[in-house]
Amino acid sequence: MLHTDPIAALTPEVIAWRYHIHSNPELGFDENDTARFVSEKLRAFGFDEVHEGIGGTGVVGVLRSGTGTRAIGLRAELDALPVVEKTGLSYASRNEGVMHACGHDGHTAMLLGAARLLSQSRAFDGIVNFIFQPAEENEGGSMRMIEDGVFKRFPVEAMYAVHNWPGVKLGTIAIRVGAQMAAVDNFELSFEGLGAHAAMPQLGDDPILAAGAFVQAVQRIVSRSVDPQTALVVSLTQIHGGNVGNIVPGKVWLQGTCRFFEPGHSDHCQTLIGEIARGVAAAHALKATLDYKKGYPPLINTADATARAVEAAAATVGRENVSTEFSPSLGCEDFAFMIREAGGCYAWIGAGDVGPGEGLHGDRYVFNDEIVPTVLRYYVNLVEQTLPAS
């Protein structure tokens, strides 16, 4: 078992790696420099194999020890967000309009730290695949890696990942069996007819009226079509129509999102949104066009992997600081694809309370470096307990 001294000694270097990644953020599938940084570190650590370009800019490092053939995977994300950083940090983004506002810089640096520790100790028996994925935020980079054969080339019995979680008490880890993050579908809808002078609306149609009717009517999906104890959110996030003050536009465009834990709600939402849109369009003598896009599935932690993660977390922060009974988040996470494919567990690492604009995806978000030794210890415990040395 690794003692805390190597972790404490390595922590400042891991934080320095994070600062470097944070200063040089890259958007999904463009993480070329970040992927190169990761690959160079893994090779310097003496990894048995390092593979690049998987699913775009993804990197996989393979670490073996002993004679065992059992394998697990550990995953971190490489990508940043299209956010203008306003933290004022000395190591703030040098790439204007791009920011690590979700902590992926920390996740990548901490997984590199675990790679360094485990490559030095090799105190396990089996195979650990360190998977650094591109484009988690919106483009489904984990699915791209799966489609590129990541689990055929590097099979695992389970996948594990962590996410820093502002709002959860510092020094705690939250893990639950079953749904921990929601599925997300997105849709775009347009109502289209004839425009007209605002003083003579009878000469045209009015898609703005239709959009208003739709915004109200679509909420019956949540309030009247599913069990009220079932988590489902339908939110309209954009409405655009017209550009002149005295013209009723001929077209209005809307965008929205659906969040849920029950996989069957995807088809349900798609069907009812289409029916409501067509009904509203018919009532207003308009044409409705719906583009419904199925997105990330719900993230469902599997029982066996979660049990192992809970034991590793207990060994890290004490069982009294491991939460297994809490409400899941209606946020989404594309690690769901990997768990769906291979089984696994996703843990929230408590990062403490934050202020306005300082939460995930906020322009003043700052990763809490106090969690770094906790996550290093968690990963080491997880590997050594799951693949015990003989």
pLDDT above 60 (res 173): yes
346-356 tens-digit pLDDT:
999 999 998 88
Residue 4's pLDDT band (boundaries 50, 70, 90)? low
Which phi and psi (to 5°) does residue 300 adopt?
-115, 105
* 181 pLDDT above the threshold of 60: yes
Domain boundaries, the chain: 6-180+301-386, 183-295
State yes or no: 269 annotated in a binding site: no
pLDDT in tens, 71-87: 999 999 999 999 999 99
**Pick from 123, 122, 129: which is nearest to 58 by CA?**
129
Q: Report yes or no: 173 and 378 within 8 Å, Cβ to Cβ.
A: yes
> What is the per-residue pLDDT across 316-358, written as a single tens digit (0 to 9) for each?
999 999 999 999 999 999 999 999 999 999 999 999 998 888 9
Predicted confidence at residue 178, as pLDDT, reads 96
The Cα-based distances of 313 to 64, 133, 162, 309, 389 in angstroms read 23, 23, 11, 6, 19
d(CA 353, CA 367): 12
Flag whether 258 is marked binding: no
The residue with tokens 């954009």 is: 238
Distance between first and last Cα of the chain: 12
In this prediction the pTM is 0.92
Residue 228: DSSP 8-state: T
Cβ proximity of 279 and 271 under 8 Å: no
368: buried, middle or exposed (CB in 10 Å: 19+, 13-18, 0-12)? middle
What lies within 8 Å, CB to CB, of 339 at 6+ separation is 159, 299, 300, 301, 302, 345, 346
Give residue-wise pLDDT tens across range 268-307.
Answer: 999 999 999 999 999 999 999 999 999 999 999 999 999 9
Q: Is 102 assigned a ligand-binding role in the annotation?
A: yes
User: Is 20 within any annotated ligand binding site?
Assistant: no
pLDDT at 123 over 70: yes
> pLDDT confidence of 2, banded at 50, 70, 90?
very low
Q: Sheet of 322-323: strands edge to edge?
A: 49-54, 58-65, 126-133, 71-77, 159-165, 344-350, 173-174, 322-323
Q: Is the pLDDT of residue 175 over 90?
A: yes
Q: Does domain 183-295 have CATH number 3.40.50.150?
A: no
Give me the percent of the chain exceeding a pLDDT of 70: 99
Q: Is 268 annotated as a binding residue?
A: no
Measure the CA–CA gap between 58 and 112, rounded to whole angstroms.
14
Residues 6+ apart with CB under 8 A from 14: 109, 110, 112, 113, 372, 376
Which CATH code is given to the segment(s) 6-180+301-386?
Answer: 3.40.630.10
pLDDT in tens, 225-279: 999 999 999 999 999 999 999 999 999 999 999 999 999 999 999 999 999 999 9
Give pLDDT tens digits for 242-255. Answer: 999 999 999 999 99
Please state, rounded to an integer, the average pLDDT across all residues of the chain: 96
